[in-house]
Copies of this chain bind each other. A is one copy, B any other.
Amino acid sequence: MKDIVTVGIIGAGRIGKLHAHNITRFVPTVRVAGISDIVINESIKEWAGALGIKKVTTDAMDLINDPAIDAILVCSSTNTHADYTMAAARAGKHVFCEKPIDLSVAKGLEAVKVAEEHTVKLQLGFNRRFDHNFKRVRDLVEEGKVGDVHIVKITSRDPAPPSPAYVAVSGGIFLDMMIHDFDMARYQAGSEITSVHAVGAVLVDEEIGKAGDIDTAIVTLTFANGAIGVIDNSRKAVYGYDQRVEVFGSEGCAQAENDTPSTVKLSNADDVKSDKPLYFFLERYKDAFVDEISAFADAILTDGEVLVDGMDGIEDMVAALAAGKSLKEGRTVTIAEMKVELGL
């Protein structure tokens, strides 16, 4: 059995670079053989050289067709995710694809099917499933420590809103932000979502409203196993990235609180002060970004299952689209109805 996975990374933006750094430092089972980007300048070459990445190219196909490469990390812009995934799968490469797999469910599904046909692993970048806190909650659930799941609650609030320009092309709060929480809800419930109902408001930034989106939302969920759930999102929590999960069941309740920079508290004449949560996703999910790549490599090396596969991404998108429809129409939207509408 091989003991190392050689990868090529498509996209040398923030997330592509993050994965390259993480692999070099922390993932002994993976080696980065090459990286591509539509623009390659001296700075990227230098950076790649420092990390020992030999191949630096403007043509992603150079990586996809490289016989020395086992797997492709698709870290390019969203509109290219599905195409690169399919090209890589057709070349027999395993694929780790950043989320979402596409803004179109149909095209995303096509990519998933191509990966299946070519029997390559396809893992999506839902990094939160690898967070130490959320994984601990899920472990407790799987060990039966909360009994039958009755209620799943997820709080997910960003420290600061994106620019209105970003919002305009983001697909909206449900597809851009809450999609992570739909994935987390399905993961924690151990069951598929059957219906959603959304309420939302523009409370953080009027420009977001002008861009046709909302910045504050609560979505209730029903699951196939009978459980119910709720997700709340805000684009702006002044105290930092608020990422909490709670699973309540017949035998108990597991709750994950935020991580903080330190455990120190200061008691003085005013009150007792402790640290705010870690600032944002790069801080909070630092280790999760590493662990998702390690797990991807393990799945390849042991021919095991990936923790979050292509169909997870499709299900998450359908839930997000249903939430959007619910908000617009002021009613509960079933996943079944949404799938019919999407022709799935």
Chain A residues within CB distance 8 Å of chain B? 24-26, 132-133, 136-137, 140, 145-148, 150-151, 153, 155, 157, 195, 197, 199-201, 203-204, 216-218, 220-222, 226-230, 232, 234, 236-239, 242, 248, 250-259, 261-277, 330-332
Which residue of B is nearest A203, CB measured? B150
Question: Do A137 and B264 have beta carbons less than 8 Å apart?
Answer: yes
- Number of chain copies forming the complex: 4
Which residue of B is nearest A26, CB measured? B25
Report chain B residues within 8 Å CB of A271. Answer: 273-276
In-complex Cβ contact of A266 among B24, B146, B200 (8 A): B146
A61 to chain B, nearest CB (A): 31
Question: Do B331 and A269 have beta carbons less than 8 Å apart?
Answer: no
Question: Do A151 and B272 have beta carbons less than 8 Å apart?
Answer: no
Question: Do A268 and B251 have beta carbons less than 8 Å apart?
Answer: yes
A266–B150 CA distance with the chains assembled, in angstroms:
15
Question: Do B227 and A266 have beta carbons less than 8 Å apart?
Answer: no
If A25-B26, A261-B132, A273-B273 touch, whether A268 touches B238 (CB-CB below 8 Å) is yes
Question: Do B274 and A253 have beta carbons less than 8 Å apart?
Answer: no
Report chain B residues within 8 Å CB of A276. Answer: 267, 270-272
In-complex Cβ contact of A226 among B201, B221, B272, B332 (8 A): B201
A257–B132 CA distance with the chains assembled, in angstroms:
19
